[in-house]
Structure 1
Amino acid sequence: MIIIDVDKITIDQLPQDEDDYYEYKSSLTPDDKLKDKLQKAVSGFANSGGGFFIAGINDKTGEVDGGISLQIGRQSRRDWVDIVVSQIEPKPKYSVKLLDDVDGRGFLKEAHAVLIVAIEESTIGPHMAADNRYYIRNGAHTVPARHYIVEAIRAKRFSTNPKLSHVFRLKPGYEQVLQLGIVAITNAPAVNVILSLFPLPKLLKARAQDFPIKLPLIDQNNPFFFDVSLYFESEESFGRDVKLNIEYDDLLQNHYVQELVIGIESTPPILIGNPNKEIIGALNSIEKALLKLSLRANNSLNDTD
Protein backbone atom coordinates (compact mmCIF):
# COMPACT_ATOMS: atom_id res chain seq x y z
CA MET A 1 0.00 0.00 0.00
CA ILE A 2 1.09 3.56 -0.70
CA ILE A 3 0.48 5.80 2.29
CA ILE A 4 -0.79 9.24 1.27
CA ASP A 5 0.94 12.17 2.91
CA VAL A 6 -1.49 12.65 5.78
CA ASP A 7 -0.92 16.41 5.87
CA LYS A 8 -2.34 16.69 2.35
CA ILE A 9 -5.44 14.55 2.86
CA THR A 10 -8.76 16.28 2.15
CA ILE A 11 -12.27 14.99 2.79
CA ASP A 12 -12.86 14.25 -0.91
CA GLN A 13 -9.94 11.78 -0.93
CA LEU A 14 -11.69 9.53 1.59
CA PRO A 15 -13.85 6.79 0.04
CA GLN A 16 -17.55 6.65 0.84
CA ASP A 17 -17.31 3.09 2.15
CA GLU A 18 -14.85 1.22 4.35
CA ASP A 19 -12.48 -1.26 2.72
CA ASP A 20 -9.19 -3.06 3.38
CA TYR A 21 -7.40 0.23 3.96
CA TYR A 22 -10.04 2.48 5.57
CA GLU A 23 -11.90 1.98 8.85
CA TYR A 24 -14.51 4.52 10.00
CA LYS A 25 -15.88 5.11 13.49
CA SER A 26 -18.86 7.30 14.24
CA SER A 27 -18.58 10.50 16.27
CA LEU A 28 -20.94 8.87 18.77
CA THR A 29 -18.31 6.26 19.74
CA PRO A 30 -17.36 6.79 23.44
CA ASP A 31 -13.67 7.54 24.03
CA ASP A 32 -13.02 4.33 25.97
CA LYS A 33 -14.46 2.25 23.13
CA LEU A 34 -12.68 4.41 20.54
CA LYS A 35 -9.39 3.72 22.33
CA ASP A 36 -9.97 -0.03 22.09
CA LYS A 37 -10.96 0.17 18.42
CA LEU A 38 -7.95 2.34 17.57
CA GLN A 39 -5.47 -0.03 19.22
CA LYS A 40 -6.87 -3.05 17.41
CA ALA A 41 -6.94 -1.17 14.10
CA VAL A 42 -3.32 -0.01 14.48
CA SER A 43 -2.27 -3.63 15.10
CA GLY A 44 -4.38 -4.83 12.16
CA PHE A 45 -3.23 -2.23 9.66
CA ALA A 46 0.45 -2.52 10.64
CA ASN A 47 0.24 -6.30 10.19
CA SER A 48 -1.69 -6.07 6.90
CA GLY A 49 -0.07 -3.50 4.64
CA GLY A 50 -1.03 -0.23 6.32
CA GLY A 51 -4.18 1.87 6.27
CA PHE A 52 -6.27 4.64 7.81
CA PHE A 53 -8.31 4.68 11.01
CA ILE A 54 -10.79 7.56 10.81
CA ALA A 55 -13.02 8.69 13.66
CA GLY A 56 -15.86 11.13 13.06
CA ILE A 57 -17.38 9.48 9.97
CA ASN A 58 -20.40 7.21 10.14
CA ASP A 59 -19.44 3.79 8.81
CA LYS A 60 -22.96 3.24 7.44
CA THR A 61 -23.38 6.47 5.48
CA GLY A 62 -19.80 7.62 4.90
CA GLU A 63 -20.80 11.09 6.12
CA VAL A 64 -19.16 13.21 8.82
CA ASP A 65 -21.54 13.06 11.79
CA GLY A 66 -20.29 15.80 14.08
CA GLY A 67 -16.63 14.90 14.55
CA ILE A 68 -14.80 14.11 17.76
CA SER A 69 -13.67 16.58 20.39
CA LEU A 70 -10.27 18.22 20.06
CA GLN A 71 -9.73 18.01 23.82
CA ILE A 72 -10.26 15.27 26.39
CA GLY A 73 -10.22 17.20 29.61
CA ARG A 74 -6.87 18.98 29.58
CA GLN A 75 -5.34 16.54 27.11
CA SER A 76 -5.26 17.28 23.39
CA ARG A 77 -6.67 14.68 21.03
CA ARG A 78 -3.28 14.33 19.33
CA ASP A 79 -1.59 13.55 22.66
CA TRP A 80 -4.37 11.08 23.38
CA VAL A 81 -3.64 9.27 20.11
CA ASP A 82 0.09 9.14 20.88
CA ILE A 83 -0.57 7.53 24.26
CA VAL A 84 -3.02 5.02 22.79
CA VAL A 85 -0.70 3.99 19.94
CA SER A 86 2.33 3.77 22.26
CA GLN A 87 0.71 0.71 23.86
CA ILE A 88 1.13 -1.28 20.63
CA GLU A 89 4.16 -3.62 20.73
CA PRO A 90 6.28 -2.88 18.79
CA LYS A 91 4.95 0.58 17.99
CA PRO A 92 4.59 1.02 14.20
CA LYS A 93 5.15 4.22 12.25
CA TYR A 94 2.06 6.40 12.05
CA SER A 95 0.94 9.99 11.51
CA VAL A 96 -2.06 11.99 12.68
CA LYS A 97 -4.27 14.68 11.17
CA LEU A 98 -7.28 16.48 12.60
CA LEU A 99 -9.39 17.44 9.59
CA ASP A 100 -11.50 20.54 10.28
CA ASP A 101 -12.89 21.15 6.77
CA VAL A 102 -15.51 18.64 5.58
CA ASP A 103 -16.59 20.62 2.50
CA GLY A 104 -20.28 19.81 2.81
CA ARG A 105 -19.81 16.09 3.50
CA GLY A 106 -21.84 16.03 6.69
CA PHE A 107 -21.21 18.47 9.53
CA LEU A 108 -18.75 19.29 12.31
CA LYS A 109 -19.63 20.59 15.74
CA GLU A 110 -17.62 23.45 17.25
CA ALA A 111 -14.17 22.38 18.61
CA HIS A 112 -14.55 19.02 16.85
CA ALA A 113 -12.74 17.45 13.89
CA VAL A 114 -12.38 14.27 11.88
CA LEU A 115 -9.47 12.27 13.32
CA ILE A 116 -7.26 10.53 10.75
CA VAL A 117 -4.56 8.12 11.91
CA ALA A 118 -2.43 6.80 9.02
CA ILE A 119 -0.60 3.57 9.89
CA GLU A 120 2.31 2.66 7.64
CA GLU A 121 3.00 -0.80 6.27
CA SER A 122 5.42 -2.50 8.64
CA THR A 123 8.26 -4.99 8.25
CA ILE A 124 8.93 -5.31 11.98
CA GLY A 125 5.71 -7.14 12.90
CA PRO A 126 3.77 -8.81 14.22
CA HIS A 127 2.31 -5.92 16.20
CA MET A 128 0.38 -6.77 19.37
CA ALA A 129 -2.51 -4.68 20.69
CA ALA A 130 -2.94 -3.75 24.36
CA ASP A 131 -5.16 -6.81 24.95
CA ASN A 132 -2.12 -9.05 24.12
CA ARG A 133 -3.66 -10.21 20.85
CA TYR A 134 -2.54 -9.73 17.25
CA TYR A 135 -4.90 -8.39 14.59
CA ILE A 136 -5.12 -8.29 10.79
CA ARG A 137 -7.47 -6.71 8.27
CA ASN A 138 -10.11 -8.93 6.71
CA GLY A 139 -11.86 -6.81 4.11
CA ALA A 140 -13.42 -3.85 5.93
CA HIS A 141 -12.97 -5.45 9.36
CA THR A 142 -10.19 -5.81 11.91
CA VAL A 143 -10.10 -9.38 13.25
CA PRO A 144 -7.83 -11.41 15.54
CA ALA A 145 -5.04 -13.19 13.67
CA ARG A 146 -4.77 -16.95 13.93
CA HIS A 147 -1.55 -18.46 15.21
CA TYR A 148 -0.20 -19.48 11.80
CA ILE A 149 -0.80 -15.94 10.46
CA VAL A 150 1.15 -14.47 13.37
CA GLU A 151 4.04 -16.84 12.67
CA ALA A 152 3.98 -15.93 8.97
CA ILE A 153 4.15 -12.22 9.84
CA ARG A 154 7.00 -12.90 12.24
CA ALA A 155 8.90 -14.82 9.55
CA LYS A 156 8.36 -11.99 7.08
CA ARG A 157 10.47 -9.57 9.11
CA PHE A 158 13.52 -11.76 8.52
CA SER A 159 12.91 -12.28 4.82
CA THR A 160 12.64 -8.64 3.77
CA ASN A 161 15.57 -7.69 1.58
CA PRO A 162 17.86 -4.96 2.90
CA LYS A 163 18.39 -2.02 0.58
CA LEU A 164 21.12 0.59 0.98
CA SER A 165 21.48 3.98 -0.66
CA HIS A 166 23.72 7.02 -0.37
CA VAL A 167 23.25 10.65 0.57
CA PHE A 168 25.50 13.68 0.86
CA ARG A 169 25.10 15.94 3.87
CA LEU A 170 26.79 18.87 5.55
CA LYS A 171 28.48 17.62 8.71
CA PRO A 172 26.45 18.51 11.82
CA GLY A 173 28.25 21.27 13.69
CA TYR A 174 30.85 21.64 10.91
CA GLU A 175 28.77 22.74 7.92
CA GLN A 176 31.86 23.55 5.86
CA VAL A 177 32.60 19.79 5.66
CA LEU A 178 30.78 17.50 3.22
CA GLN A 179 30.01 13.93 4.24
CA LEU A 180 28.96 10.88 2.25
CA GLY A 181 26.51 8.61 4.02
CA ILE A 182 25.39 5.05 3.43
CA VAL A 183 21.86 4.63 4.74
CA ALA A 184 19.27 1.84 4.92
CA ILE A 185 16.01 2.52 3.09
CA THR A 186 14.27 -0.65 4.29
CA ASN A 187 13.84 -1.94 7.83
CA ALA A 188 15.95 -5.03 7.14
CA PRO A 189 19.56 -4.72 8.37
CA ALA A 190 22.56 -5.11 6.07
CA VAL A 191 25.45 -7.00 7.67
CA ASN A 192 29.10 -7.53 6.70
CA VAL A 193 29.07 -4.34 4.65
CA ILE A 194 32.05 -3.60 2.37
CA LEU A 195 32.30 -0.09 0.92
CA SER A 196 34.70 1.13 -1.77
CA LEU A 197 35.13 4.25 -3.93
CA PHE A 198 36.98 4.62 -7.23
CA PRO A 199 38.71 6.89 -7.84
CA LEU A 200 39.26 8.01 -4.29
CA PRO A 201 38.43 11.69 -3.72
CA LYS A 202 41.42 13.96 -3.13
CA LEU A 203 40.75 14.27 0.60
CA LEU A 204 40.74 10.47 1.03
CA LYS A 205 43.84 9.53 -0.97
CA ALA A 206 45.99 9.82 2.13
CA ARG A 207 43.73 7.19 3.72
CA ALA A 208 43.80 4.73 0.84
CA GLN A 209 44.90 1.99 3.25
CA ASP A 210 41.51 2.26 5.01
CA PHE A 211 39.64 1.16 1.87
CA PRO A 212 37.59 -0.83 1.32
CA ILE A 213 35.77 0.12 4.51
CA LYS A 214 34.30 -2.87 6.34
CA LEU A 215 31.34 -2.44 8.66
CA PRO A 216 29.50 -5.08 10.70
CA LEU A 217 26.05 -3.50 10.30
CA ILE A 218 24.06 -0.73 8.64
CA ASP A 219 20.37 -0.33 9.43
CA GLN A 220 17.90 2.52 9.86
CA ASN A 221 19.22 3.21 13.35
CA ASN A 222 22.87 2.91 12.35
CA PRO A 223 23.77 4.76 9.13
CA PHE A 224 27.44 5.34 8.25
CA PHE A 225 28.76 8.82 7.40
CA PHE A 226 32.32 9.91 6.66
CA ASP A 227 34.04 13.13 5.57
CA VAL A 228 34.83 13.33 1.86
CA SER A 229 35.50 16.99 1.06
CA LEU A 230 35.33 20.60 2.09
CA TYR A 231 32.02 21.91 0.84
CA PHE A 232 33.34 24.99 -0.99
CA GLU A 233 35.62 22.81 -3.14
CA SER A 234 33.43 19.69 -3.21
CA GLU A 235 32.81 19.47 -6.95
CA GLU A 236 36.51 19.73 -7.74
CA SER A 237 37.72 17.64 -4.79
CA PHE A 238 35.14 14.84 -4.89
CA GLY A 239 34.29 14.74 -8.56
CA ARG A 240 31.22 13.91 -10.60
CA ASP A 241 31.77 10.30 -11.71
CA VAL A 242 32.89 8.36 -8.67
CA LYS A 243 32.03 4.66 -8.58
CA LEU A 244 30.51 3.59 -5.28
CA ASN A 245 30.51 -0.17 -4.68
CA ILE A 246 28.59 -1.62 -1.74
CA GLU A 247 28.54 -5.31 -0.85
CA TYR A 248 26.55 -6.74 2.05
CA ASP A 249 24.58 -9.74 3.34
CA ASP A 250 21.13 -10.10 4.85
CA LEU A 251 20.35 -12.09 7.99
CA LEU A 252 19.88 -15.23 5.90
CA GLN A 253 23.39 -14.80 4.42
CA ASN A 254 22.14 -13.82 0.97
CA HIS A 255 24.74 -11.62 -0.73
CA TYR A 256 24.04 -8.29 -2.44
CA VAL A 257 26.17 -6.03 -4.63
CA GLN A 258 25.29 -2.44 -5.57
CA GLU A 259 27.33 -0.41 -8.03
CA LEU A 260 26.48 3.27 -8.39
CA VAL A 261 28.04 6.24 -10.14
CA ILE A 262 27.71 9.25 -7.86
CA GLY A 263 28.79 12.87 -7.89
CA ILE A 264 28.29 16.18 -6.18
CA GLU A 265 26.53 17.81 -9.12
CA SER A 266 23.87 15.09 -9.39
CA THR A 267 23.29 14.74 -5.63
CA PRO A 268 23.28 18.03 -3.76
CA PRO A 269 23.93 17.79 -0.01
CA ILE A 270 21.29 18.08 2.68
CA LEU A 271 21.78 19.86 5.98
CA ILE A 272 21.27 17.75 9.10
CA GLY A 273 20.41 19.55 12.32
CA ASN A 274 20.14 23.27 12.98
CA PRO A 275 22.46 25.31 10.78
CA ASN A 276 25.08 27.46 12.47
CA LYS A 277 24.06 30.94 11.32
CA GLU A 278 27.45 32.43 12.13
CA ILE A 279 29.27 29.88 9.95
CA ILE A 280 26.80 30.27 7.11
CA GLY A 281 27.04 34.05 7.32
CA ALA A 282 30.83 33.91 7.28
CA LEU A 283 30.87 31.55 4.28
CA ASN A 284 28.45 33.80 2.41
CA SER A 285 30.68 36.81 3.12
CA ILE A 286 33.74 34.89 1.90
CA GLU A 287 31.89 33.82 -1.25
CA LYS A 288 30.89 37.43 -1.99
CA ALA A 289 34.42 38.65 -1.38
CA LEU A 290 35.86 36.00 -3.73
CA LEU A 291 33.30 36.95 -6.37
CA LYS A 292 34.35 40.62 -6.15
CA LEU A 293 38.04 39.65 -6.45
CA SER A 294 37.24 37.50 -9.46
CA LEU A 295 35.38 40.34 -11.15
CA ARG A 296 38.24 42.76 -10.48
CA ALA A 297 40.75 40.28 -11.89
CA ASN A 298 38.66 39.85 -15.05
CA ASN A 299 38.37 43.63 -15.43
CA SER A 300 42.14 44.02 -15.05
CA LEU A 301 42.74 41.41 -17.75
CA ASN A 302 40.31 43.14 -20.07
CA ASP A 303 41.98 46.51 -19.48
CA THR A 304 45.35 44.90 -20.27
CA ASP A 305 44.00 43.47 -23.49
Structure 2
Amino acid sequence: MIRWRRFFSRASNLVGLALVLLFCLVALLAPRLAPPLNPADPWPFKTVTQSFSRQPTPPEPGVPLGTTPQIQNMPQYGIAPGQDASYMWDVYYTLIWGARSALRFGLVVTLATAVIGVLIGAFSGYIGGAANLVIMRLTDAFLAFPVIAGIWVIQRAFYSNIYDPFGDPMALTGWEAFLYRGRIDPIMITLILFSWMPYARLMNAQVRGARRSEYVRAAEAMGASSGRVIFRHLLPNTISPAVVLAARDIGGMVILASAFIFIGFGGNVAWGTMLVTSRDYVIGLSGNPFAYWWTFVPVSLALILFGVGWNLVGDGLNRALSPYER
Protein backbone atom coordinates (compact mmCIF):
# COMPACT_ATOMS: atom_id res chain seq x y z
CA MET A 1 0.00 0.00 0.00
CA ILE A 2 2.83 2.39 0.83
CA ARG A 3 4.42 1.69 -2.54
CA TRP A 4 1.22 2.52 -4.39
CA ARG A 5 0.85 5.71 -2.39
CA ARG A 6 4.40 6.54 -3.43
CA PHE A 7 3.45 5.92 -7.06
CA PHE A 8 0.37 8.16 -6.98
CA SER A 9 2.14 10.91 -5.05
CA ARG A 10 4.16 12.04 -8.10
CA ALA A 11 2.57 14.20 -10.78
CA SER A 12 4.70 12.68 -13.55
CA ASN A 13 3.39 9.21 -12.70
CA LEU A 14 -0.18 10.44 -12.87
CA VAL A 15 0.47 12.06 -16.25
CA GLY A 16 1.94 8.83 -17.60
CA LEU A 17 -0.94 6.77 -16.25
CA ALA A 18 -3.47 9.21 -17.74
CA LEU A 19 -1.82 8.95 -21.17
CA VAL A 20 -1.79 5.15 -21.05
CA LEU A 21 -5.43 5.02 -19.96
CA LEU A 22 -6.35 7.51 -22.69
CA PHE A 23 -4.87 5.31 -25.42
CA CYS A 24 -6.50 2.23 -23.90
CA LEU A 25 -9.85 4.02 -23.85
CA VAL A 26 -9.46 5.16 -27.47
CA ALA A 27 -8.58 1.60 -28.53
CA LEU A 28 -11.57 0.22 -26.63
CA LEU A 29 -14.01 2.79 -28.03
CA ALA A 30 -12.59 2.75 -31.58
CA PRO A 31 -15.77 1.22 -33.10
CA ARG A 32 -17.79 4.15 -31.71
CA LEU A 33 -15.24 6.90 -32.33
CA ALA A 34 -14.57 5.75 -35.91
CA PRO A 35 -17.18 3.23 -37.10
CA PRO A 36 -15.48 0.65 -39.38
CA LEU A 37 -16.70 -0.22 -42.83
CA ASN A 38 -16.54 -3.91 -41.94
CA PRO A 39 -17.29 -4.47 -38.23
CA ALA A 40 -16.27 -8.14 -38.47
CA ASP A 41 -12.74 -7.30 -39.63
CA PRO A 42 -11.95 -3.61 -39.07
CA TRP A 43 -9.10 -2.35 -41.25
CA PRO A 44 -7.14 0.56 -39.73
CA PHE A 45 -7.34 2.54 -42.97
CA LYS A 46 -10.48 3.99 -44.46
CA THR A 47 -10.93 4.93 -48.09
CA VAL A 48 -12.57 8.35 -48.26
CA THR A 49 -12.65 9.16 -51.95
CA GLN A 50 -11.26 7.88 -55.21
CA SER A 51 -8.66 10.23 -56.63
CA PHE A 52 -5.63 10.20 -58.89
CA SER A 53 -4.34 13.39 -57.30
CA ARG A 54 -1.19 13.44 -55.20
CA GLN A 55 -2.60 16.38 -53.26
CA PRO A 56 -3.67 15.68 -49.64
CA THR A 57 -7.02 17.20 -48.78
CA PRO A 58 -7.15 19.42 -45.65
CA PRO A 59 -9.52 18.89 -42.70
CA GLU A 60 -13.16 19.47 -43.55
CA PRO A 61 -16.58 18.38 -42.28
CA GLY A 62 -16.75 14.62 -42.22
CA VAL A 63 -12.96 14.32 -42.39
CA PRO A 64 -11.74 16.13 -39.23
CA LEU A 65 -8.03 15.47 -39.86
CA GLY A 66 -8.01 15.49 -43.64
CA THR A 67 -6.82 12.75 -45.96
CA THR A 68 -3.56 11.56 -47.39
CA PRO A 69 -3.11 9.89 -50.79
CA GLN A 70 -2.25 6.22 -50.79
CA ILE A 71 -0.47 4.04 -53.28
CA GLN A 72 -2.28 1.12 -54.83
CA ASN A 73 -0.19 -2.08 -55.00
CA MET A 74 2.70 -0.44 -53.19
CA PRO A 75 5.89 -2.28 -54.20
CA GLN A 76 7.92 -4.12 -51.60
CA TYR A 77 10.69 -1.55 -51.34
CA GLY A 78 8.96 1.76 -51.82
CA ILE A 79 7.00 3.65 -54.44
CA ALA A 80 7.80 3.06 -58.06
CA PRO A 81 8.65 6.16 -60.13
CA GLY A 82 5.60 7.64 -61.76
CA GLN A 83 3.12 5.65 -59.71
CA ASP A 84 0.07 7.68 -58.72
CA ALA A 85 -2.33 7.51 -55.83
CA SER A 86 -5.59 5.75 -56.52
CA TYR A 87 -7.51 6.68 -53.37
CA MET A 88 -7.40 8.71 -50.17
CA TRP A 89 -7.15 7.53 -46.58
CA ASP A 90 -8.83 9.20 -43.63
CA VAL A 91 -6.11 10.35 -41.17
CA TYR A 92 -8.53 10.53 -38.23
CA TYR A 93 -9.71 6.96 -38.79
CA THR A 94 -6.12 5.68 -38.85
CA LEU A 95 -5.28 7.68 -35.74
CA ILE A 96 -8.12 6.05 -33.79
CA TRP A 97 -7.69 2.48 -35.00
CA GLY A 98 -3.94 2.88 -34.87
CA ALA A 99 -4.20 3.07 -31.07
CA ARG A 100 -5.60 -0.47 -31.03
CA SER A 101 -2.90 -1.60 -33.45
CA ALA A 102 -0.14 0.00 -31.35
CA LEU A 103 -1.41 -1.46 -28.06
CA ARG A 104 -1.71 -4.91 -29.54
CA PHE A 105 1.75 -4.79 -31.08
CA GLY A 106 3.44 -3.36 -27.99
CA LEU A 107 1.74 -5.75 -25.57
CA VAL A 108 2.31 -8.88 -27.66
CA VAL A 109 5.98 -8.17 -28.39
CA THR A 110 6.78 -7.03 -24.84
CA LEU A 111 4.96 -9.92 -23.19
CA ALA A 112 6.67 -12.47 -25.44
CA THR A 113 10.14 -11.00 -24.96
CA ALA A 114 9.66 -10.62 -21.21
CA VAL A 115 8.49 -14.22 -20.76
CA ILE A 116 11.36 -15.62 -22.84
CA GLY A 117 14.01 -13.47 -21.18
CA VAL A 118 12.73 -13.95 -17.63
CA LEU A 119 12.59 -17.74 -17.95
CA ILE A 120 16.03 -18.02 -19.55
CA GLY A 121 17.64 -15.65 -17.06
CA ALA A 122 15.98 -17.23 -14.02
CA PHE A 123 16.82 -20.83 -14.92
CA SER A 124 20.41 -20.05 -15.94
CA GLY A 125 20.97 -17.95 -12.82
CA TYR A 126 19.61 -20.68 -10.55
CA ILE A 127 21.55 -23.49 -12.22
CA GLY A 128 24.80 -21.50 -12.33
CA GLY A 129 28.13 -23.03 -13.25
CA ALA A 130 29.18 -23.80 -16.82
CA ALA A 131 25.58 -23.90 -18.07
CA ASN A 132 24.98 -20.36 -16.90
CA LEU A 133 28.24 -19.23 -18.52
CA VAL A 134 27.28 -20.75 -21.89
CA ILE A 135 23.74 -19.31 -21.80
CA MET A 136 24.98 -15.83 -20.95
CA ARG A 137 27.57 -15.93 -23.75
CA LEU A 138 24.80 -16.92 -26.18
CA THR A 139 22.79 -14.00 -24.83
CA ASP A 140 25.71 -11.69 -25.56
CA ALA A 141 25.90 -13.09 -29.09
CA PHE A 142 22.23 -12.24 -29.67
CA LEU A 143 22.89 -8.74 -28.32
CA ALA A 144 25.64 -8.26 -30.89
CA PHE A 145 23.46 -9.33 -33.84
CA PRO A 146 22.05 -6.34 -35.80
CA VAL A 147 18.27 -6.16 -35.64
CA ILE A 148 17.92 -4.81 -39.19
CA ALA A 149 19.78 -7.85 -40.53
CA GLY A 150 17.41 -10.04 -38.53
CA ILE A 151 14.38 -8.41 -40.14
CA TRP A 152 15.83 -9.00 -43.60
CA VAL A 153 16.66 -12.65 -42.90
CA ILE A 154 13.22 -13.42 -41.43
CA GLN A 155 11.43 -11.65 -44.25
CA ARG A 156 13.35 -13.69 -46.80
CA ALA A 157 12.78 -16.93 -44.90
CA PHE A 158 9.03 -16.68 -44.24
CA TYR A 159 7.60 -13.94 -46.47
CA SER A 160 7.47 -13.15 -50.15
CA ASN A 161 4.70 -10.61 -50.73
CA ILE A 162 3.08 -10.23 -47.29
CA TYR A 163 5.26 -7.12 -47.02
CA ASP A 164 2.78 -5.49 -49.37
CA PRO A 165 0.00 -4.09 -47.11
CA PHE A 166 -2.20 -3.60 -50.18
CA GLY A 167 -1.86 -7.10 -51.61
CA ASP A 168 -4.61 -9.69 -51.86
CA PRO A 169 -4.76 -11.70 -48.58
CA MET A 170 -6.62 -14.52 -50.35
CA ALA A 171 -3.56 -15.13 -52.54
CA LEU A 172 -1.39 -15.96 -49.52
CA THR A 173 -0.61 -19.60 -48.76
CA GLY A 174 1.35 -21.62 -46.21
CA TRP A 175 3.38 -19.65 -43.69
CA GLU A 176 2.28 -16.33 -45.13
CA ALA A 177 -1.41 -17.10 -44.73
CA PHE A 178 -0.90 -18.28 -41.14
CA LEU A 179 1.18 -15.23 -40.20
CA TYR A 180 -1.22 -12.85 -41.94
CA ARG A 181 -4.24 -14.21 -40.08
CA GLY A 182 -2.36 -13.73 -36.80
CA ARG A 183 -1.32 -10.19 -37.80
CA ILE A 184 2.31 -11.29 -37.37
CA ASP A 185 4.86 -9.44 -39.49
CA PRO A 186 8.66 -9.67 -39.86
CA ILE A 187 9.23 -6.80 -37.45
CA MET A 188 7.17 -8.47 -34.70
CA ILE A 189 9.05 -11.77 -35.07
CA THR A 190 12.43 -10.03 -35.17
CA LEU A 191 11.80 -7.87 -32.11
CA ILE A 192 10.71 -10.93 -30.14
CA LEU A 193 13.81 -12.87 -31.18
CA PHE A 194 16.24 -10.04 -30.52
CA SER A 195 14.75 -8.19 -27.53
CA TRP A 196 14.66 -10.83 -24.77
CA MET A 197 18.34 -10.45 -23.85
CA PRO A 198 18.03 -7.48 -21.41
CA TYR A 199 15.40 -9.42 -19.46
CA ALA A 200 17.62 -12.49 -19.36
CA ARG A 201 20.65 -10.58 -18.11
CA LEU A 202 18.60 -8.65 -15.56
CA MET A 203 16.88 -11.73 -14.15
CA ASN A 204 20.13 -13.68 -14.19
CA ALA A 205 21.75 -11.10 -11.94
CA GLN A 206 18.69 -10.92 -9.68
CA VAL A 207 18.37 -14.68 -9.27
CA ARG A 208 22.08 -15.23 -8.75
CA GLY A 209 21.96 -12.69 -5.93
CA ALA A 210 18.93 -14.32 -4.30
CA ARG A 211 19.67 -18.03 -4.82
CA ARG A 212 21.60 -18.23 -1.53
CA SER A 213 18.93 -16.48 0.50
CA GLU A 214 17.49 -18.12 3.57
CA TYR A 215 14.05 -18.75 2.06
CA VAL A 216 15.61 -20.47 -0.97
CA ARG A 217 17.80 -22.69 1.19
CA ALA A 218 14.80 -23.56 3.36
CA ALA A 219 12.75 -24.56 0.30
CA GLU A 220 15.59 -26.72 -1.00
CA ALA A 221 16.04 -28.35 2.39
CA MET A 222 12.35 -29.31 2.37
CA GLY A 223 12.86 -31.10 -0.96
CA ALA A 224 11.32 -28.51 -3.33
CA SER A 225 12.16 -29.07 -7.00
CA SER A 226 14.11 -26.53 -9.02
CA GLY A 227 10.98 -25.43 -10.83
CA ARG A 228 9.08 -24.89 -7.60
CA VAL A 229 11.94 -22.91 -6.10
CA ILE A 230 12.13 -20.69 -9.16
CA PHE A 231 8.41 -20.09 -9.73
CA ARG A 232 7.22 -20.12 -6.12
CA HIS A 233 10.07 -18.36 -4.35
CA LEU A 234 12.62 -16.69 -6.63
CA LEU A 235 10.46 -15.09 -9.34
CA PRO A 236 7.98 -13.38 -6.97
CA ASN A 237 10.90 -11.79 -5.11
CA THR A 238 13.09 -10.83 -8.09
CA ILE A 239 10.75 -10.00 -10.98
CA SER A 240 10.04 -6.36 -10.08
CA PRO A 241 12.88 -4.90 -12.24
CA ALA A 242 11.64 -6.93 -15.21
CA VAL A 243 8.13 -5.53 -14.75
CA VAL A 244 9.54 -2.00 -14.80
CA LEU A 245 11.53 -2.76 -17.96
CA ALA A 246 8.45 -4.24 -19.64
CA ALA A 247 6.37 -1.14 -18.88
CA ARG A 248 8.98 1.00 -20.59
CA ASP A 249 9.35 -1.36 -23.54
CA ILE A 250 5.69 -1.31 -24.58
CA GLY A 251 5.98 2.21 -25.95
CA GLY A 252 9.54 1.71 -27.14
CA MET A 253 8.63 -1.33 -29.23
CA VAL A 254 5.89 0.55 -31.06
CA ILE A 255 8.18 3.50 -31.78
CA LEU A 256 10.96 1.18 -32.96
CA ALA A 257 8.59 -0.73 -35.22
CA SER A 258 7.27 2.53 -36.68
CA ALA A 259 10.85 3.62 -37.37
CA PHE A 260 11.54 0.37 -39.22
CA ILE A 261 8.33 0.77 -41.22
CA PHE A 262 9.30 4.35 -42.04
CA ILE A 263 12.64 3.30 -43.55
CA GLY A 264 11.05 0.60 -45.69
CA PHE A 265 10.46 -2.54 -43.61
CA GLY A 266 6.74 -3.25 -43.77
CA GLY A 267 4.74 -4.00 -40.66
CA ASN A 268 1.33 -3.97 -38.96
CA VAL A 269 1.64 -0.78 -36.89
CA ALA A 270 -0.86 1.52 -38.58
CA TRP A 271 0.79 4.71 -37.32
CA GLY A 272 4.09 3.67 -38.91
CA THR A 273 2.39 2.94 -42.21
CA MET A 274 0.73 6.36 -42.14
CA LEU A 275 4.11 8.00 -41.56
CA VAL A 276 5.47 6.22 -44.63
CA THR A 277 2.69 7.61 -46.80
CA SER A 278 3.18 11.13 -45.42
CA ARG A 279 6.97 11.37 -45.68
CA ASP A 280 6.76 13.05 -49.09
CA TYR A 281 4.78 15.89 -47.48
CA VAL A 282 6.97 16.56 -44.45
CA ILE A 283 8.93 19.22 -46.34
CA GLY A 284 5.82 20.22 -48.27
CA LEU A 285 5.41 20.33 -52.02
CA SER A 286 5.43 24.10 -51.82
CA GLY A 287 8.52 24.34 -49.60
CA ASN A 288 6.49 24.96 -46.44
CA PRO A 289 7.12 22.11 -43.95
CA PHE A 290 3.65 22.57 -42.44
CA ALA A 291 1.72 23.00 -45.66
CA TYR A 292 0.34 19.48 -45.18
CA TRP A 293 0.68 19.20 -41.42
CA TRP A 294 -2.34 16.90 -41.02
CA THR A 295 -0.53 14.10 -42.88
CA PHE A 296 2.17 13.64 -40.23
CA VAL A 297 1.64 15.84 -37.14
CA PRO A 298 -1.32 13.93 -35.55
CA VAL A 299 0.32 10.53 -36.01
CA SER A 300 3.72 11.80 -34.83
CA LEU A 301 2.16 13.30 -31.70
CA ALA A 302 0.31 10.03 -31.03
CA LEU A 303 3.58 8.07 -31.23
CA ILE A 304 5.40 10.53 -28.99
CA LEU A 305 2.66 10.60 -26.35
CA PHE A 306 2.31 6.81 -26.49
CA GLY A 307 6.02 6.36 -25.80
CA VAL A 308 6.16 9.09 -23.16
CA GLY A 309 3.15 7.67 -21.30
CA TRP A 310 4.61 4.18 -20.96
CA ASN A 311 8.04 5.56 -20.04
CA LEU A 312 6.55 7.69 -17.26
CA VAL A 313 4.63 4.68 -15.94
CA GLY A 314 7.83 2.63 -16.03
CA ASP A 315 9.77 5.31 -14.16
CA GLY A 316 7.01 5.53 -11.57
CA LEU A 317 7.01 1.78 -11.05
CA ASN A 318 10.79 1.85 -10.72
CA ARG A 319 10.57 4.41 -7.92
CA ALA A 320 7.63 2.71 -6.22
CA LEU A 321 9.18 -0.76 -6.25
CA SER A 322 12.71 0.30 -5.41
CA PRO A 323 13.71 -0.62 -1.83
CA TYR A 324 16.00 2.43 -1.70
CA GLU A 325 13.22 4.96 -2.25
CA ARG A 326 11.82 6.63 0.84
TM over 0.5: no
TM-score (norm 2): 0.19
* Higher alpha-carbon Rg: 1
Higher relative contact order (CA 8 A, sep 6+): 2
TM-score (norm 1): 0.20
